[in-house]
Amino acid sequence: MNWKPLYLVLLAGAIVSGGLVNFSAAGEPVPLIFDTDSGNDIDDVLALGLIHALQSRGECELLAVTITKDHELAAPFVDAVNTFYGRGEIPIGVCDSGVTPEAGRFNVLASKQDNGKDRYPHDLRSGKNAPAAVTVLRQALADAEDNSVSIAQVGFSTNLANLLDSEPDDISPLSGKDLVAKKVKLLSIMAGAFEQIPNREGKPYDHKEYNIIKDIPSNQKLAKEWPTPVIWSGYEIGLNLRYPHESIEQDYDYVEHHPLKEAYILYNPPPHDRPTWDLTSVLQIVRPNRGYFGLSESGYVDVADDGLTTFRADSEGKHQYLTLDEAQKIRVKEALIFLSSEPPHQN
């Protein structure tokens, strides 16, 4: 990769945002919870790598990872990635939903061994040994400062809907909804579609997005009841930002085995360029003031019984969705490549 043009692009973005290479907009790391269906698509893994790069730069702190893919290898794989980046202590919570119960194409890397040893060392051997996602979410929020936590949800809304329904307990005397209202600053969610999508013949159609249709009731609950501001990254955003396979082939070779590269190859090998759906939600929530994306007017997202999402403009609404122009595409793609492939921080 030619780093000089990339550096200039990122530098320009920092200057435009009002500071000379001040990569933390507020000067303090963003307390972040990552809710993912890791194993169903590779963008979840690239997004997790992106988070670790941003944490190494002092821009966020990953408080916990909760998982909406109901397979026992999903949590160990996340633990393996966290451990690779030197943060194997991060709490991980799992769901019990029966949604997408298959292993997935790359979660099997958690059980990959070379000469009798884990290729990617990790402590959590099975999701059956992990705590419930709602427990992890409640603990992370209870421990946080008021109105401080950002959540990036890039899978189904199962865990967050269950959090809203949770009762007071030993962790917190607050109900789930009250706990969210007190502790969460912003939810950034990759779900839905807010433009028509071209089909294989190039004709636009109303797209019913995967993260929505896999658990429609939970998405409806979140859209109606989540008490804080929500920014939606629709299907059209990541579709127009494809991760270049050249980066997978060249930028991760600073180690013999890299979990992001090997997961990408197992999911769909180069020369495939995968859309970066989940990465966009993370980038927006950690770097909200860089002008990477535009934002719609305020309003509400409605989730129909068939999974179709629509947006209602309303000045009192708490929802917005991302927009993207041609100039932003260049800046966002370069930032995603640079950050996702950044080596782990060396203490």
Q: Which residues of 91-127 are buried (b: 16+ CB within 10 A; e: fewer)?
A: bbbbbebebbeebbbbbebbbbeeeeebbbebebbeb
Tell me which DSSP letter residue 129 carries.
Answer: G
Residue 83 and residue 159 in contact, taking contact as beta carbons nearer than 8 Å: no
The distance of Cα 16 from the centroid of its chain, to the nearest Å, equals: 25
pLDDT of residue 346: 67
Q: Above 50 in pLDDT, residue 13?
A: no
pLDDT of residue 27: 80
Per residue in 217-227, pLDDT (tens digit) is 999 999 999 99
Strand duo 274-275 + 242-243: pairing: antiparallel
Q: Above 70 in pLDDT, residue 16?
A: no
Q: Above 90 in pLDDT, residue 102?
A: yes
Per residue in 123-155, pLDDT (tens digit) is 999 999 999 999 999 999 999 999 999 999 999
Residue 42 and residue 336 in contact, taking contact as beta carbons nearer than 8 Å: no
Mean pLDDT, residues 68-73 taken together: 98
Residue 200 and residue 161 in contact, taking contact as beta carbons nearer than 8 Å: no
pLDDT of residue 129: 97
Which position has the higher pLDDT, 5 or 280? 280
Confidence of residue 5 (pLDDT cuts 50, 70, 90): very low
Phi, psi dihedral angles at 152 (to 5 degrees) = -105, 110
Q: Above 80 in pLDDT, residue 17?
A: no
Site of tokens 């501001």: 229
Q: How many angstroms separate the CA atoms of 55 and 53, rounded?
A: 5
